[in-house]
A and B are shown apart, each in its own frame.
Chain A
Amino acid sequence: MSSSSLIRSDVQPSPAPSPPQPVLPLTVAAVVASVIGIALMVLAAVELRNFNHHGVVSTIIGVVLVLLTLYPLWPTLRSIGAGRERARLLQDGKLVAARRSAARGREDAQIGMGYAVASVVVALLLLMVLANSAHGNGIAHTFFSSSAWRQSFSQMLPAFWINIWVALIAQVLVLIFGLLLAVMRMLPGRAGAPLRRIAIVYCDVFRAVPAIVVIYLIVFGVPLAAPGLTKISPTLLGVLALTLTYSAYVAEVYRAGLQSIHPSQTAAARSLGLSYFQTLRTVLVPQAVRRVIPPLLNDFISLQKDTALLSIAAIGEALLTATIWQAKLFNLSPVTLAAFFFIIITIPQARFVDYLINRDASKRAGG
C-alpha cells in the first residue's frame, strides 16, 4: 500500500489564507470601559474628599486614584493606531503584516479593558464604602473611622500578640499530633487495626464538630475534670482546643501526602533492609511533608484566624478587645483593625511558603 492512496490532495485542499481579525469592536469596548472607570473614580474621589472634610491627604489620594484610572487609555489609544495600520496594510494587500497589526491592536485593547474593569471595581467598592457618609452613618463612618483606630490601637496590638502566639504554639503542636494521627491511621496489619480505627473516629469527630463548640467544651469542660486543672489558664486550653480541631484536618493532609508517594519508594527502602518505621521516617514522611506544604499552610492560615474564636471563651485576644472598644465607642472600626492585623501577618507566610517550594525545586534540579 503506497502512501499516495492514503492521502490525496483533493481530500485536503489548500485553505485560503485567513484574513486579519477585527480590532474595532475591542477598541470601542476598551474606550467605553475606560470612560466608565474614570467617571466612577472621579465620583469616588469627590466623595472621599467630602468625607474627610476636604483634607489634604484625601485630596492627594483622590487625585492619585483618578490619575491611575487614566492608565487604561494608553493601551486603548495604541490599539486605535494598530487598527488604522491594519486597514492600511490590508488595502496594500500585505496580509501577514495586517494580521500582525491586528493581533497587536487586539491585545492592546484587551489590556486596556483589563485595567479599566479593575478601576471600575475599585471605584465601585470605594463608592459603596463612602455611601451615606453625608448622613454620618455609612460604612466609612462605622468601619473605617481613623479616630476609633487611634484610640483602640494601643490595646489592640498587645491583644493581637495573644492571637499570634496562640497560633504559633497550636501550629507546632498540630504538626506533631497531626502526623501522629496520620501514621496511626496508616498502621499495617491486624495488630494495627484498633489504633487505625481510633484515628479514623478521631478525625471524623473533630472535623465534624464546629471549632467553636470544641472551644466551649475544652475551655469550660477541662477545669471541671479535676480540681488541679482549674489552675490552667483559659488561653492554654484554647490552644489545646484549636490543636485538637486542626490536628484532624492536618492528619488528613499528611495522609494524602503519604499516600501520594509511589509504592516503589517503599519497595526500594524495604528492599534495602529498612524497617517499616525507618522507611516512614527517612523516606516517606520527608517526601510527603514537602508535597503537602501548600495545603498545610492553608490550614495554618485558617487556624490563625480561628484564634479569634477564643473571644467567646473570654480570652482577651484581638477580637474580644475590639468588641469591648466597639461597645465603648459605638463604632465597629476596631473590628476592622483586627482584620487588618490578620491580613498583615498572613501575607508574609504565603510568600515564605512560595519561597520554600521554589528553593526546594531549584535545589533538586540544580544539584
Chain B
Amino acid sequence: MSFLEISDVHKSFGHNEVLKGVSLTVERHEVVCLIGASGSGKSTLLRCVNQLEQVNSGEIHIDGDTVTGAGVDLNRLRRDVGIVFQSYNLFPHMSVMDNVTLAPIRVGGVSKREAQEKAMVLLESVGMGIKAKAFPDSLSGGQQQRVAIVRALAMEPRVMLLDEITAALDPELVGDVLEIVRELAHEGLTMMLATHEMGFAKEVSSQVCFLDQGAICEHGSAQQIFEEPREERTQQFLSRVVKSGRL
C-alpha cells in the first residue's frame, strides 16, 4: 500500500464542483508537484489532504489509515501533515520563536525549553536564527515564508503540503525559499506542492500532476510532462507558461 492514497475525491463549494474525482498515490520520500491554472483545484486538493476542507466523496488514506469522513482525530492527523500557505499566515501577535514553538508546546507536549532549543536549530538552518525575537510584521515576505516552513517542520510532519508558497513573494526572494524546499526534498521528506515555478517543479519532483478543471488531466515524471506532454491541454498550458517566460 502506498504512503498517501487519494482515491476518487470530489469536493464542491455550493454548486461549484472544484474537484471532480481526483485519484493520486504518493510514495514515501516522493515529491509531487501539482501544476495547472489558477482555479484548477490544486490548493483545494492540498487542503483536503489535511482536512482543512472536508471531501464530499472519495477517500484519502495516509499510511494505511483513512483520514476522511467522520470520527477521524483531525488534530492528530494535522500533526502528521504539515502545510505552508501562499500568504504565510504567521501569527502577527507572536514573535517568530513563539510562532514556531506554539504547536510543539501546546499540541506536542514538549517542554518550553526543549521546544525553543529545537526551534532555534531549525531557524538557524534557514538563516532566521537572528530574527527569533522579531515579530512577523517586521520581516520580509521571504523571511516570513521561511519561518512558516520552520513552523510546520517543528511538528515533525510525515508529509508536507506546500500551497504556492512562493506565489506572493518578490522575485528576488523566491530563491531562498525554494532552496529550503530543495534541501527538504534531498533529505527525503515526502512533499506535495502546488506551484507555478515550473523550472523548480521540473528539478525537484519525482511526479508531476497537471490539473485542469478539477481533475488530473495528465501525470507522469517531470521529464515526461515537461518534455513530451501527451494531452493537448497540457501542451496548451505549458506553451502559455513558456510564453510568459516562466519556463
A interface residues (Cβ-Cβ under 8 A, vs B) = 264-265, 267-275, 278, 282-283, 286-287, 290, 363-367
Contact present for A272 and B103 (CB under 8 Å)? yes
Contact present for A272 and B78 (CB under 8 Å)? yes
Contact present for A265 and B89 (CB under 8 Å)? yes
What's the nearest-Cβ distance from chain A to residue B112, in Å? 14
List A contacts of B78 (CB < 8 A): 270-273
Contact present for A278 and B106 (CB under 8 Å)? yes
Contact present for B85 and A272 (CB under 8 Å)? no
Given A272-B107, A273-B76, A273-B103, does the pair A365, B89 have CB atoms closer than 8 Å? no
List A contacts of B11 (CB < 8 A): none
Contact present for A367 and B91 (CB under 8 Å)? no
Is B155 interfacial (CB-CB < 8 Å)? yes
Contact present for A272 and B92 (CB under 8 Å)? no
Contact present for B138 and A287 (CB under 8 Å)? no
What's the nearest-Cβ distance from chain A to residue B141, in Å? 15
Given A367-B134, A367-B135, A367-B138, does the pair A273, B79 have CB atoms closer than 8 Å? yes
What's the nearest-Cβ distance from chain B to residue A188, in Å? 13
Q: How far is the CA of A283 from the CA of B108 in the complex (A)?
A: 17
Number of interface residues of B (CB under 8 A): 33
Contact present for A282 and B102 (CB under 8 Å)? yes
List B contacts of A282 (CB < 8 A): 91, 102, 106
List A contacts of B47 (CB < 8 A): 267
List B contacts of A265 (CB < 8 A): 89, 91
Q: How far is the CA of A203 from the CA of B139 in the complex (A)?
A: 41
Contact present for B93 and A268 (CB under 8 Å)? no
Contact present for A273 and B107 (CB under 8 Å)? yes
Contact present for A271 and B93 (CB under 8 Å)? no
Is B65 interfacial (CB-CB < 8 Å)? no
* A-B contact list, 14 entries, CB within 8 Å: A265-B89, A268-B90, A269-B91, A270-B78, A271-B52, A272-B82, A273-B76, A273-B78, A274-B75, A274-B107, A286-B93, A290-B93, A365-B137, A367-B131
Task: Find A271's partner among B82, B92, B106 (CB 8 Å cutoff).
Answer: B82
Contact present for B137 and A267 (CB under 8 Å)? no
Given A265-B89, A273-B78, A283-B91, 4 more pairs with CB closer than 8 A? A269-B91, A273-B103, A287-B91, A365-B138
What's the nearest-Cβ distance from chain A to residue B72, in Å? 13
Task: Find B75's partner among A264, A267, A273, A365 (CB 8 Å cutoff).
Answer: A273
Is B152 interfacial (CB-CB < 8 Å)? yes
Contact present for A267 and B107 (CB under 8 Å)? no
Interface string of B68-88 (1 = CB under 8 A from A): 000000111011011101010
List A contacts of B230 (CB < 8 A): none
List B contacts of A287 (CB < 8 A): 91-93
Q: How far is the CA of A275 from the CA of B106 in the complex (A)?
A: 10
List A contacts of B28 (CB < 8 A): none
Is B50 interfacial (CB-CB < 8 Å)? yes
List A contacts of B246 (CB < 8 A): none
What's the nearest-Cβ distance from chain A to residue B62, in Å? 14
List B contacts of A366 (CB < 8 A): 138
Given A271-B52, A271-B78, A272-B151, does the pair A278, B107 have CB atoms closer than 8 Å? yes
Interface string of B200-241 (1 = CB under 8 A from A): 000000000000000000000000000000000000000000
Q: How far is the CA of A363 from the CA of B137 in the complex (A)?
A: 10
Q: How far is the CA of A264 from the CA of B131 in the complex (A)?
A: 23
Q: How far is the CA of A282 from the CA of B92 in the complex (A)?
A: 12
Interface string of B103-132 (1 = CB under 8 A from A): 100111000000000000000000000010
